[in-house]
Chains A and B, each alone.
Chain A
């Protein structure tokens, strides 16, 4: 894989990077589906971005749960 990265041009390097990101997101979506978290792709990407920026995942999960509950009560 390393050799593959070196052998392409800068443009395609960017391409592969984008591919890698897409793959990662796919994997994460798969995992999230396995774990039955109920997150769709967009929410998942937002969460991932937040985590990457250093947000505490515990807090974030608490927030999400609270939001969900709130949305339920609001619906009802």
Chain B
């Protein structure tokens, strides 16, 4: 202010006096003297010179008077003031203005505020838990009468008292009323509350200041702002007994976990103990021990939340748990701040007030009962949840909700809804979008990043059983896994890019914890419905895509027709074409030759009308060649699968199919061989009628052949009808009714397993299979023997015919028919031939015997097998008990197995 007159303060002061009182200078002499004295005595301010603080106070005052527009205006003006930089002592000017400001409302209402303030409920936060609003009403009980009693005069009165009480005068105590509290999160809330109280308090405290005589109070020097009230505390001397008020103050500290003056945390007892040096009466000691339990509980919960916030890998669920604990603690701190401010009030009220309605240990006991119960629940939760995270944590919290106490249940339900909110978010994203973003491994669906797309369905996604919360059943969890898996399968393997919104009508995901709470309360109904709906829609869509775009069912049928020899005409033609090729040794076979033959077969039969997609997957495969193999041993058909179908027809499945094909192919070959033998019989029987000596041998051949035909016939019937057709029917039914891909895969696996075990291809039936192979080998042997027999017989026949022909010819020419030596030669030759017949006969006999023994062994093994259908096969094979008559073992084993069978039933 360089341009104004530099008047001395006294002059200014005098003119001020004149101005305000409106009198002339002479008349204000008295006041002027007083003013000079006041100002002279109290030169240094006792509060902080903080402009910001003052301006905030002004704003708050304006807001309190509900003049928000004015508050904004003030901010504008203040900013302008700051930019102008004319004033040097802005803060003091502002402070002055503030202290001179008057509430446009009635001054007496300020005292009434005090009582009504406590009568109001604390604001109900969206996250606040239900039971705190009752608290202030109970406090209001003691203060209602106080408020009424203080409706006296507001201003200051005595002059001399002013000097000391400017501190507690109309100026409000500074905002860090409750600055001693460690919790920063609570500071803002308690500040607001505290300042609200603070506004109300000093106006009522100033009249009381009048009551006490000023001279007993020591003068105050400038003090650092503390939360301690102005008057010296009556802590009592160290030697004497500690009185209750001091204890109360201590207890309030202990409630927050800070060591008080007398009550400290003792590590070895893990509890709050009263200092043994302190002299206390027993009741007080007991009560304060009970109260300090709260401090212990508070510490426990606090330690957990502090430790967990530092833990980076704790995950979303854990963080929400800590957040909910934090909220609870906040409520607790609010209560503590209310208590603190009450304590403040008392201290300022003076001695006369303390007996009526002050804060005693008993009152604290009563008021802190509910918070104690809540803190106990929280501490128990914290204990139980140590070291858990993710879904496990949710299960732990849920377990605690199963209690009869309604308060505890409400509290735990609230925490549970917050805690399960992230899990439900994961879940909804997974079932509607198929996305899984779970950095901390908290969700119960785990994805293995190493798995490639061809094994996506089987291996990539799995259930993390430990993370399934206890309120989600295993069935629901499996369905959830399936849904997300289907979506991912569609996207990656089927390359189907329809947005998930089209698959299921998108329902609102759980956006807020309130939704989560609603959902949790209705787990059986709404939640299950959601999951079921998503499951049905997604699975149906997946199956549609597979069947429409990838022809899954067609491929299944193609497998049946080609690999399982279902397409009879094609197989017969193929075998006819391949017969000459496959008779050669395996090493001379070339794949392209065989493929060409395959193509021919396809074109010539009904197979040509099949879907081109299917035909192009059909191929020839040559198995590994061992020495001595003919073509028959290494030939196999193959069917190529790729893409999504490979999920159903996995590599193992294809391996199974090839083994079954091998078995069926061999059996078919036996059938064909016997057909050839029969043909040979029919053709040659007529021809060889002229050689009666062969009739015995031929008869033997016929018998053996028909035995073999019967056997193979029954085997083929068994394989085709009992094994293949029945299982296929079951499979087809299941596939038609399948609701999701897992069902299809399972049904298909069951089908293959049944076939393999019934075709004697599994490990248990190895001996049976060996027997069967042996039988097949014998049939081939027989064929060979038969062939050689016929060859020699036919040769002999042709020779004889030639001889006869020659004889006749010579007779026609007029010569002797045969010469004596020709005839002798012929006779000799015939004799030779006839000598070979017994050899043939014995060979055949050996063959027959061998064959029959193998068959009998086979039958014995069949009898004792565990599979029902195999036992029935044995019945069919031996329907007229032909073998049983020969084989004593069979008789014995029949009886034995019958007994066993009865016991089974």
Contact = CB atoms under 8 A, between A and B. Distances in A.
Interface of A: 1, 14, 17-18, 20-21, 23-24, 27-28, 30-32, 34-40, 42-43, 45-71, 74
Contact of B84 (A27, A48, A50, A69): A27
B527 interface: no
A42 B104 CA distance: 22
Given A50-B16, A60-B96, A36 B45 contact: no
A58 B447 CA distance: 70
A35 B70 CA distance: 9
Interface in B47-86: 47, 58, 61-62, 70, 73-74, 77-78, 80-81, 83-84, 86
Given A47-B16, A65-B170, 19 more contacts: A24-B84, A24-B87, A34-B77, A38-B100, A46-B19, A50-B16, A51-B89, A54-B89, A55-B39, A56-B39, A56-B44, A57-B93, A57-B96, A60-B96, A61-B100, A63-B35, A67-B21, A70-B31, A71-B21
Given A46-B12, A51-B89, A63-B38, A58 B19 contact: no
B88 interface: yes
Interface in B79-111: 80-81, 83-84, 86-89, 92-104
Contacts of B34: 63, 66
A38 B102 contact: yes
Nearest to B87: A24
Contacts of B291: none
Contacts of A35: 58, 61-62, 74, 97-98, 100-102
B101 A21 contact: no
Interface of B: 1-4, 7, 9, 12-13, 15-17, 19-23, 31, 34-35, 38-39, 41-47, 58, 61-62, 70, 73-74, 77-78, 80-81, 83-84, 86-89, 92-104, 155-156, 159, 162, 166, 169-171
Nearest to B166: A58
Nearest to B70: A34
A11 to B, nearest CB: 13
A74 B78 CA distance: 36
Nearest to A24: B86
B47 A46 contact: no
Contact of A52 (B15, B88, B155, B171): B88
14 contacts: A30-B77, A32-B97, A34-B73, A35-B62, A37-B101, A38-B100, A49-B12, A50-B9, A51-B92, A56-B39, A56-B45, A61-B99, A65-B156, A67-B21
A37 B97 contact: yes
A58 B47 contact: yes
Nearest to B65: A36
Contact of B45 (A1, A39, A58, A68): A58
A23 B77 CA distance: 11
Smallest CB-CB A-B distances: 3 pairs = A35-B101, A61-B99, A37-B100
A interface SS class: helix
Which of A32, A45, A53 has the most CB atoms of chain B within a 10 A radius of its CB?
A53
Given A51-B89, A64-B20, A58 B99 contact: yes
Contacts of B38: 59, 62-63, 66
A69 B511 CA distance: 61
Contacts of A20: 84, 86
Nearest to B74: A34
A51 B96 contact: yes
Nearest to A75: B22
A50 B6 CA distance: 10
Given A58-B42, A74-B21, A27 B81 contact: yes
Nearest to A46: B16
Contacts of A18: 3
Nearest to A42: B19
A23 B84 contact: yes
Which of B74, B77, B170 has the most CB atoms of chain A within a 10 A radius of its CB?
B77
A39 B15 contact: no
Which of B3, B20, B58 has the most CB atoms of chain A within a 10 A radius of its CB?
B20
Contacts of A40: 19
Nearest to B42: A59
A9 B193 CA distance: 54
Nearest to A53: B9
Given A30-B77, A57-B93, A21 B20 contact: no
Contacts of B39: 55-56, 59-60, 63
